[in-house]
Structure formats: C-alpha cells, structure tokens
C-alpha cells in the first residue's frame, strides 16, 4: 500500500483536505476508503493507525462527512484478502470502529466480503470466524460483478438462492447491504 510511504501519505492527505473543503463548500459529502489489496495482517493494523491520525485531525467532524444513520463512514475494499485471517480482519474492524463510526468492507470474488460470504462456499472462506467479522460491519458490500453477465434465468436463480437470503441475514445482523 502506497500510504506506508511518508511522502505519498502526505500527498494523499493534501488531496483529502481539498476534497473535504470542496464537499463543504458545495454541499456534497465525502468519505475515506482504503484499498487493502494484498495487505498482510500486520499491515492492516498500520492502516488502522493511519485512520486514527486522520480522525484525530478532525476528518470525521466535518459536516460533509458521509454518514449512515448519523455515524461517519469508513470504507475499505480489497482483493486477495484470503492472505488475511478472520482474526486479523476482526482486529482492524475493532481498532478502526467506534460507536460514532460504521464500516464498509467491499470485496470481490477473492475479497473480504465475497459473493458467498453468508454460506462460506465457493469464493468465501468456510472458517466460521469470518461470520463474526461480517456481523461487526455497518455495511456489507459483496462484489458480484459477474452476476450481471448471467442469463435472465440465472439472475433469477441468483436472486432467489443468494440475494434474498443475504438480505434477510443482514437484516437480522443489523447490517446494511449494498449489492454491486
């Protein structure tokens, strides 16, 4: 992750300050999203430390900070997250989350919130510890881009077999669900 380079981090923080100001000046919202692609468990905690510095700098106190149910939003996406364990992912969710903030974890077929996250099949880990991670999220956003290329019959089956049960599960967990 290029944020571990001090010069890059400083440049990104300048961009964030400009985005924040533009959002405030123009009645828009913004939020921070990290790309966790390929990060190891140790580096996940470094990302949490970077976020805490931003938070201490007031990024979540802006009236333009995007929020869900009044809680500022922090997002993270990533591919190849199978390198990470459920325990390490749980650690970053807990270390970056406060009662004032929600999380979005977006994954793709190999990602942190895979298409079959609820059942732990196919592209998802069968380790039951991942279910604990999913329950701690404010928003789950599985990446199912391949579903768009399915035939109409297959999309109907996907809706019945995967989407509707996913929606019911997230409602029970009090987790918002965004389908891409």
Q: Could you give the CA distance from residue 136 to residue 141 in angstroms, rounded to a whole number?
A: 13
pLDDT band (50, 70, 90) for residue 105: very low
Strand partners, 73: 102
In a domain, 114, yes or no: yes
Provide the number of structural domains found in the chain.
1
> What pTM was computed for the model?
0.67
Beta strands in 20-142 (DSSP E): 32-35, 67-68, 71-78, 102-107, 139-141
Specify whether the CB–CB gap between 90 and 132 falls below 8 A.
yes
Range of the domain at 93: 31-177
pLDDT band (50, 70, 90) for residue 78: low
In a domain, 15, yes or no: no
Q: Could you give the CA distance from residue 80 to residue 179 in angstroms, rounded to a whole number?
A: 20
State the distance between the two ends of the chain, measured CA to CA, in whole angstroms. Answer: 24
Give residue 98's pLDDT. Answer: 53
Q: Could you give the CA distance from residue 6 to residue 25 in angstroms, rounded to a whole number?
A: 29
Give per-residue pLDDT as tens, 34-62.
877 777 777 877 888 888 899 889 998 99
3-class secondary-structure state, position 34 = strand
In a domain, 152, yes or no: yes
Strand partners, 14: none
In a domain, 24, yes or no: no
In a domain, 112, yes or no: yes
In a domain, 21, yes or no: no
Burial class (CB in 10 A: 0-12, 13-18, 19+), 105: buried
Q: Could you give the CA distance from residue 66 to residue 72 in angstroms, rounded to a whole number?
A: 6
Give residue 142's pLDDT. Answer: 80
In a domain, 118, yes or no: yes
In a domain, 20, yes or no: no
């Amino acid at each position: 992750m290029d944020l571990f380079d001090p010069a890059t981090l400083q440049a990104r923080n300048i961009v964030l300050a400009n985005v924040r100001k533009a959002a405030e000046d123009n009645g828009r919202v913004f939020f921070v999203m990290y790309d966790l692609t390929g990060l190891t468990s140790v580096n996940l905690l470094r990302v949490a430390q970077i976020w805490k510095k931003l938070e201490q700098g007031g990024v979540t106190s802006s009236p333009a900070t995007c929020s869900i149910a009044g809680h500022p939003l922090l997002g993270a996406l990533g591919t190849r997250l199978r390198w990470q364990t459920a325990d390490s992912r749980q650690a970053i969710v807990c270390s970056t989350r406060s009662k004032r903030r929600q999380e979005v974890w977006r994954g793709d077929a190999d990602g942190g919130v895979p298409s079959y996250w609820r059942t732990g099949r196919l592209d998802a880990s069968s380790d039951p510890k991942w279910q604990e991670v999913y329950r701690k999220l404010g928003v789950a956003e599985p990446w199912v881009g391949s579903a768009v290329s399915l035939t109409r019959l297959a999309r109907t089956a996907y809706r019945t077999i995967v989407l509707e049960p996913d929606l019911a599960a997230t409602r029970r967990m009090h987790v918002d669900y965004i389908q891409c």
